[in-house]
Structure 1
């Protein structure tokens, strides 16, 4: 989003000012040392005072916080920045706070410190083109000790200025580039952040992309202009674990209302409420719900509600839920089939790695459906030597649409199944290695099994902006689709998903997953399932077994169809 209001001070100007301050302080410090040195020499001593170490004392914390907040409130950005451990970044942010956010006055009141952390309350007056507004919020700062000098300083973070700021983000006040929208669900019911807090980022993204198409007019606002956005028409894609994913610009204060345009979405407000309540039962969780026959996104939720949009943009190893795609590949290659014998030993070694099953179980003289229903890892690893390195990648892309560019209408990470060799290739068959998914992509996998073909998920009809939806190159074969449905039904009725799916009837199927993460005590819990006209998936980071962590969330969502 382009800047609004007066241009901020250039980095060159900030560097000059910061350098001038450094020179002045440096000269003063040298003079003081010279006098002291003369005195010390006369007494036979010539040693500088020792540099302080250890955490800042309570007295230092209160003093530096007071001086910093006083300088900020007075508009002395450079003086305040000199009291931090990153003068340049602090000076840029605090100068922009006045010039680009158009804060005319600011009052900062410190609270009671907790250790080296000092909370404070901000009351700012924004003034832009004759329009004024009072803006209040809470923030905090941390006091650190600089190793070289031993001075107590404010540890600079963007969150000092505002708790929702990330590195490179800026605060701006002006005419909003995106007119406001009135987002409505598939039945015309209004969708608001107040009613559905888990839709916060989704609603911001919808406004940013469809504000003009919806026909609204812009107002005057204070907003966070995000720095981490690649402004392609379709939105940027998440990278790695989602840290580099796009975050929408966020309105913080409205000075004058614009006129909103109405935007119809595919969401169902009642199902959205159910999904938010289900996800909210866990401190960390995310879920997505689709219509298997169309790909329409019916609901999505994250916990915490104000956190990252994990449901659409998360990037995690999917664990054994990946075995749905791996099974399709093995069936298509005539390497496995429902009702046929299939090995499930305790251990299998491939590519120098030794793989095992949960609790080192084995199934003697078992069948493929038994291995799938009990989530036997070795049953899949044992087939790796019979597959080409790119077979799983092709199956995921050509049949399930994973790896294509999805045009959902909001930023999304659309899954990754990279070509791998050796042990990582085998690990990919059980959802580890380089495979990455999120609840949206795994709900789509279940949808593909339920309907027999991939339908790209979307939250706004493509007719609104004439975008093209991604299409797979081939549907599931009739025989493969039938076998996958049988495998997932068995898992839902008598396998690892049975406890969570108990009491549900109709056309149903499920798959559990647990994905190990280095340095994490418990694995991430996964669950993907469908029932009649709904398909859903959820992840509970650090939740342990998918059947007992993510399973109840998905089952609660599917049960709501009654």
Structure 2
């Protein structure tokens, strides 16, 4: 439920009244003062537009009391607007009855309450007047009673790992609020609180006036640091009370994937529509932001009649249960996440993404000095010869024999593009398998004429590069330059014309292991975030792609050699055989050159892409090896 600025509401309602007023000459042309129509119109238009004095002049009660009753009704409902339509008028001599239909907007994020009411009228001194009583406002409202809106916000649900364990710890939040019956001057209290916190004074006041008098009404929530800063000022406000809440919102690893939750701020209040209307916490980033609505649900709202003296509920007029909130189930394996965090720990920026090869489910996202979402999932890094997995698939499809001799020279020019391979020694000509295992840039580039641009594009596509797959968070599926001409193809083969994220390359490794490329999955329930809070991106739109079994078998052999006798040997670990490829590439970004080390491979059903900013080709492989060793099943 929310409360919008009365000035804005009044202006909008006046425009609506002016529209009603256009019909007034026609009505008065048909009915003279002997008809009750003008009285009905003046009363309802005045009530709708907030011109309570005009409405009161058409009632037979004390005008000050009528004005106050109509204004209080709006405040008690925390109404953004009240609109009326006439249902009909019946007249019997000096008495009449007018039926009206009311639509009460309880706020931007809350329901529209509709009900039918009646205006009894009689002639007073030759003028039609509304016979005043509280039942004019609502048929069930009687003297000594008032309207109120009772709300029950739902506690925030947790984000869970794949085993149902929370991915956040409890934290301390301080809730400032009031029990309306104990507050002598709510206007002054709200004015003081507004000056300290920045929350709109009219919204705070409306929240108090519309709530049951004996209920604790939360007005603002603060984290420990903020509360400590302003505590003395808050405690000086007479009537303000405090409660402590312990929601499970402190994120565990992967913290940037889980996301941070903050207390409602004045800016967030405006976005959500009112103080504490969607709970007292707001997801600032990560899954907490993407699934804000699912985690918080929507507030239960009830319009009730209370005994004005005791605050006891007399009758419930309407109830909206609100949307239930639910936990968000992720695919993160907390044990493997801890293993990944330990593997990337060190003085250099690094990232490691692990996925389940048979499903595409994301098991761990670990980083050091890099952002888990922006870099590990959505980073755009030069692929280097890590892209040789995709290039090799295209070459094998084009008929290349892995045992074919392909020179690994120190220098090679293809189509005018120059490629260099440092550290080349020896005079023997290696096989393609050896070139692949060692990540020889010149050998890969020299094979550009053995594959068409279309074949290379098809290979990239079936491995999901540039595909239409997404997670609820930002992702990058990869890209490569147009393979037009030998030079462009050679650059792609050597990974110089391709950009990828660690997530995209982990999926490539998973595809070689399982024989099927699958889109990633991070959340299993619910499948997609609310499009209003999140970015509307579905969990994944791409479909699995079954790869050629014969080609995949050859690729596995190549990737096994990368660990047993190639540049990825540092990834070797006990247990199931480790398969992989290592790469070193220099990435140029805004004239800054960065050395990157890659490992792409798997052990068992866990596929990994590891990336480190390091001039050591083996840096990423060593990270992967550490991960594989510590990830061994516990006995």
**Same fold per superposition (TM over 0.5):** yes
1:367 to 412, 420, 431: 431
- 1:558 aligned onto 2:628: yes
SS of corresponding position for 2:413: strand
- In structure 2, relative to structure 1, the CA distance for the partners of 1:509 and 1:411 (3 Å cut) is same
Partner in structure 1 of residue 464 of structure 2: 401
Given candidates 423, 426, 434, the residue that maps to 2:490 is: 426
- Secondary structure, in 3 states, of the residue corresponding to 1:510? strand
The reply to whether residue 199 of structure 1 matches residue 257 of structure 2 is yes
**Alpha-carbon deviations, 1:180-227, whole Å to 9, x = none?**
xx9xxxxxxx895145434354983323333334563479xxxxxxxx
Task: Tell whether the 8 Å contact from 1:285 to 1:538 is kept in structure 2 after alignment.
Answer: yes
Change (3 A) 1:471 1:132: closer
Aligned to 1:412: 475
CA deviation after TM superposition for structure 1 residue 310, in Å = 0.6
Distance between the aligned counterparts of 1:493 and 1:269, measured in 2? 30
How far off is 1:476 after superposition?
2.3
Which of residues 491, 496, 519 in structure 2 aligns to 1:456? 519
Counterpart check, 1:475 vs 2:546? yes
Cα separation, partners in 2 of 1:402 and 1:363, compared to 1, 3 Å: farther
Contact persistence 2:528–2:539 (CA under 8 A): no
Q: Displacement, 1:385?
A: 2.3
Larger radius of gyration: 2
1:462: how far off? Answer: 7.6
Match 1:377 to one of 441, 454, 470:
441
Does the C-alpha gap of structure 1 residues 307 and 469 become closer, same or farther in structure 2, counting only changes over 3 Å? closer
Does the alignment pair 1:488 with 2:559?
yes
Which of 291, 296, 304 is 2:369 aligned to? 304
**Match for residue 272 of structure 1?**
337
Cα distance in 1 between the residues matched to 2:526 and 2:390: 30
Which residue among 581, 584, 589 is the counterpart of 1:511?
581
Query: How far apart are the structure 2 equivalents of 1:523 and 1:553?
Result: 16
* Superposed displacement of residue 353, structure 1: 1.8
Q: Within the alignment, does 1:527 sit opposite 2:592 as a pair?
A: no
How far is the alpha carbon of 1:317 from its aligned partner? 0.9
Structure 1, unmatched stretches of 5+, are: 8-101, 106-123, 139-181, 183-189, 220-257
Shift in CA distance, 358/212, structure 1 to aligned 2, threshold 3 Å: same
Give the corresponding residue for 1:240: none
Counterparts in 2 of 1:371 and 1:535: CA distance versus 1, 3 Å:
same
Residues 313-352 of structure 1: pairs in structure 2 closer than 5 A: 313-334=378-399, 336-352=400-416
Task: Write out per-residue CA displacement over residues 537-558 of structure 1, whole angstroms, 9 at most, x where no aligned residue.
Answer: 12113x12332x2222222222
Q: Deviations over 1:317-337 (max 9, x none)?
A: 111110010111100101x22
Alignment partner, residue 236 of structure 1: none
What do the CA deviations read for 1:468-497 (whole angstroms, capped 9, x no partner)? 744468532122111111111111112101
The CA distance in 2 between the partners of 1:308 and 1:276, in whole Å, is 15
Which ranges of structure 2 fall in alignment gaps of 5 or more residues? Answer: 7-191, 205-218, 227-246, 261-282, 301-322, 530-537
Aligned residue number for residue 156 of structure 2: none
Question: Partner residue of 1:290?
Answer: 355
Distance 1:357 1:407 in 2: 36
Partner SS state of residue 264, structure 1: strand
Q: Name the stretch that deviates more: 503-512 or 531-540.
A: 503-512
Residues matched between the structures, number = 354
What's the offset of the Cα at 1:374?
1.2
In 2, Cα distance between equivalents of 1:506 and 1:194: 30
Once the two structures are TM-superposed, the CA of residue 5 in structure 1 deviates from its matched residue by 7.5
Aligned equivalents of 2:254 and 2:545: distance in 1? 37
Name 1:262's counterpart in structure 2. Answer: 327
Q: Distance in 2 between matches of 1:312 and 1:4?
A: 39
User: Hey, what's the Cα distance between the residues in 2 that align with 1:288 and 1:421?
Assistant: 32
CA distance in 2, matches of 1:456, 1:538: 19
**Greater shift in the superposed pair: 447-456 or 470-479:** 470-479
Instruction: Write the distance in 1 (CA, Å) between the matches of 2:546 and 2:443.
Output: 25
Partner of 1:544: 615
TM-score (norm 2): 0.50
Task: Give deviations 1:301-344, integer Å, cap 9, x for gaps.
Answer: 2223767631101001111110010111100101x223332232
How far residue 296 of structure 1 moved from its aligned partner, in angstroms, is 0.4
**Equivalent-residue separation in structure 2 for 1:137 and 1:390 (angstroms):** 58
TM-score between the two structures when normalised by the length of structure 1: 0.57
Deviation per CA, 1:140-194, whole angstroms, max 9, x where unpaired? xxxxxxxxxxxxxxxxxxxxxxxxxxxxxxxxxxxxxxxxxx9xxxxxxx89514
Q: Deviations over 1:121-144 (max 9, x none)?
A: xxx734354324567989xxxxxx
**SS of the residue aligned with 2:610?**
strand
TM-fit CA distance, 1:279: 2.4
Contact 1:201 1:309 in 2 (8 A): no
Distance 1:191 1:287 in 2: 25
Corresponding position: 1:392 with 2:456: yes
Shift of 1:408: 2.4
Q: For residues 198-217 of structure 1, what are the structure 2 equivalents within 5 Å?
A: 198-201=256-259, 204-213=285-294, 216-217=297-298
- The CA distance in 2 between the partners of 1:389 and 1:297, in whole Å, is 31
Task: Check the 8 A contact 1:513/1:545 in 2, yes or no.
Answer: no
Q: Provide the C-alpha distance between the structure 1 equivalents of 2:548 and 2:347, rounded to a whole number of angstroms.
A: 38
Task: Report what 2:119 is aligned to.
Answer: none
| 2:229 aligned partner | none
CA displacement at 1:457 relative to structure 2: 0.9
Q: Contact 2:257 / 2:287 at 8 angstroms: preserved in 1?
A: no
1:268 is displaced (CA, Å) by: 0.7
Please say if 1:438 is aligned against 2:501: yes
Q: Tell me the distance in 2 between the aligned counterparts of 1:522 and 1:380.
A: 22
Distance in 1 of aligned mates of 2:608 and 2:299: 36
Q: Provide Cα deviations, 1:242-278, integer angstroms capped at 9, x if missing partner.
A: xxxxxxxxxxxxxxxx996311111111111221222
